[in-house]
């Protein structure tokens, strides 16, 4: 069974709320701003079904257990390491979005490092093959992507996720979205 339609929405946002004190010694409350301030923003990437720019036909999402002091390397070119949401082969040719979050690290502060695969690394949206990003239990997820995507081929196919803890298993949710052409 293959997907014949669908939509993916990747959302990133921030909300900051703070309280300020009224200025002292003004003798008047005229012009004093509301002492509560709230601000933030968010952005969305939406990919409808298809294979052209701005579209995707492969949707994958799974939880992976990574033992302490080990790394998980996924080959996203062959399509055998990571199955699509229906359990079928997910042979990417363009990777258009990634989401990675630690969902069970039992409070370990070492984190999981994304990137720097030993061979045939896909650098995602990093600038260099050796660049990495570390996420932490209880912290924000790693999110990346764009509508045109990054090329996946035989020499740019491996994604590495390394558990930096020497004692604690980390469970990560990894979602990948892209196209087969």
So what's the pLDDT on residue 91? 96
Q: What is the mean pLDDT of residues 28-41?
A: 53
pLDDT > 90 fraction of the chain, expressed in percent and rounded: 64
Tokens standing for 16?
A: 């900051």
Q: What is the mean pLDDT of residues 149-161?
A: 97
Confidence of residue 3 (pLDDT cuts 50, 70, 90): low
**Residues in a beta bridge with 47:** 8
So what's the pLDDT on residue 172? 96
Note whether 58 and 104 are same-domain residues.
Answer: yes
State the Cα torsion 155-159-164-166 to the nearest 10°.
Answer: -90
Tokens standing for 75?
A: 């080959």
Note whether 101 and 26 are same-domain residues.
Answer: no
pTM score of the predicted model: 0.83
Note whether 27 and 92 are same-domain residues.
Answer: no
- Report if residue 1 sits inside a domain: no
Sheet with 36-49, strands from edge to edge, namely: 7-19, 36-49, 55-56
Alpha carbon 172 to its chain's center: 11
User: pLDDT digits over 73-113, tens only?
Assistant: 999 999 989 898 888 899 999 999 999 999 998 788 999 99
Query: What is the average pLDDT value for the chain, to the nearest integer?
Result: 86
Q: Residue 73: how many CB atoms within 10 A of its CB?
A: 16
Note whether 94 and 22 are same-domain residues.
Answer: no
Domain membership of residue 130 as a residue range: 51-179
């Amino acid at each position: 069974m293959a997907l014949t339609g669908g939509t993916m929405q990747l959302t990133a946002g921030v909300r900051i709320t703070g309280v300020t004190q009224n200025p002292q010694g003004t003798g008047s409350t005229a012009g004093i701003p509301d002492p509560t301030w709230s601000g933030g923003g968010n952005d969305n990437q939406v990919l409808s079904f298809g294979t052209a720019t701005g579209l995707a036909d492969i949707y994958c999402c799974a939880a992976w257990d990574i033992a302490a002091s080990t790394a998980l390397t996924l080959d996203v070119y062959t399509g055998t390491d990571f199955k699509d949401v229906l359990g079928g082969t997910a042979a990417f040719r363009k990777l258009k979005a990634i989401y990675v979050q630690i969902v069970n690290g039992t409070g370990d502060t070492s984190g999981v490092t994304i990137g720097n695969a030993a061979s045939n690394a896909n650098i995602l949206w990093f600038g260099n093959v050796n660049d990495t990003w570390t996420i932490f239990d209880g912290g924000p997820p790693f999110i990346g992507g764009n509508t045109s995507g990054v090329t996946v081929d035989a020499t740019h196919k491996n994604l590495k996720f390394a558990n930096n803890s020497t004692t604690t298993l980390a469970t990560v949710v990894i979602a990948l979205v892209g196209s087969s052409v």
